[in-house]
Chains A and B, each alone.
Chain A
């Protein structure tokens, strides 16, 4: 059972939703920059990046080691940390796929945005469990509002 939270400024949520809709029907992707705390992380900035999977962008994304280095450098320049990644699932649910799980790194937060017929829908956040066999979901807290996050139940799901 996970009790971690991912706090995101409302403007960044809207920005990710716009990026996902703009990239549709392809997957968008990018880095999450912010700060990591004991029980909560804060996403304070985004770094949209180019999806390197030119061969299959509708259902795959990839960022190279150089992209990761750029994200880390950008985080340092902005006095932030590289805390995770976001990507969209065109016409697919905001749940980690088997491919997501196989390629995930521990510790990072992975935001997944479902984009259905060009419209951004559910957004969830996940961290790979240490055994690599499951994910721990993170509750997303949109800081611009007091109401509940768009989605994200606390708990562990086997993918």
Chain B
């Protein structure tokens, strides 16, 4: 089941500037595993040390956020598009209230 993975601009330097890459994958997790296996430098930008996707990395199957589906177990079918879309965050210093 070939699926298309869309690479966000900030990560294209790690995949030979490709905008999309196709994989044979049954789930989102499998597609991302294949992606980070083939392009190892992507891993640290997509995953935190605990092995979870970083909070600012958003993954969609077609137009649906996998957080509202089955996360990395979301099943894929032929022709699906898996999009990696950034959130952008930052800030000056820790809050006095302790909020992240």
List of A residues within 8 angstroms of B58 by Cβ? 65
Q: Is B16 an interface residue (CB 8 A)?
A: no
Task: Count residues of B near A (Cβ-Cβ below 8 Å).
Answer: 27
Residues of chain B with a CB closer than 8 A to A53's CB: 89, 91
Known A55-B99, A106-B13; contact A68-B88, beta-carbon cutoff 8 A: yes
Residues of chain A in range 114-143 having any CB-CB distance to chain B below 8 Å: 130-132
Q: How many A-B contacts are there with CB distance less than 8 Å?
A: 97
Alpha-carbon distance A85/B91, docked complex (angstroms):
12
Interface set, chain B 47-97, CB cutoff 8 A to A: 55-56, 58, 60, 65, 85-95, 97
Docked CA distance A62–B8 (Å): 18
Distance A97 CA – B3 CA, assembled complex (angstroms): 38
Beta-carbon contact of B13 and A62 below 8 Å: no
Whether B37 sits at the interface, judged by CB under 8 Å, is: no
Contact of B91 with A27 in the complex, beta carbons under 8 Å: yes
Q: If A56-B97, A59-B95, A106-B45 touch, does A97 touch B11 (CB 8 Å cutoff)?
A: no
A17 contacts B by Cβ under 8 Å: no
B24 at interface, CB cutoff 8 A: no
On whether the beta carbons of B90 and A104 are closer than 8 Å, the reply is yes
Asked if A5 is at the interface (CB within 8 A of a chain B CB), the reply is no
B18 / chain A contacts, CB cutoff of 8 Å = none
15 contacts between A and B (CB under 8 A): A27-B92, A55-B99, A59-B91, A59-B92, A59-B93, A62-B87, A63-B89, A65-B85, A89-B92, A89-B93, A97-B90, A99-B93, A100-B91, A105-B10, A107-B11
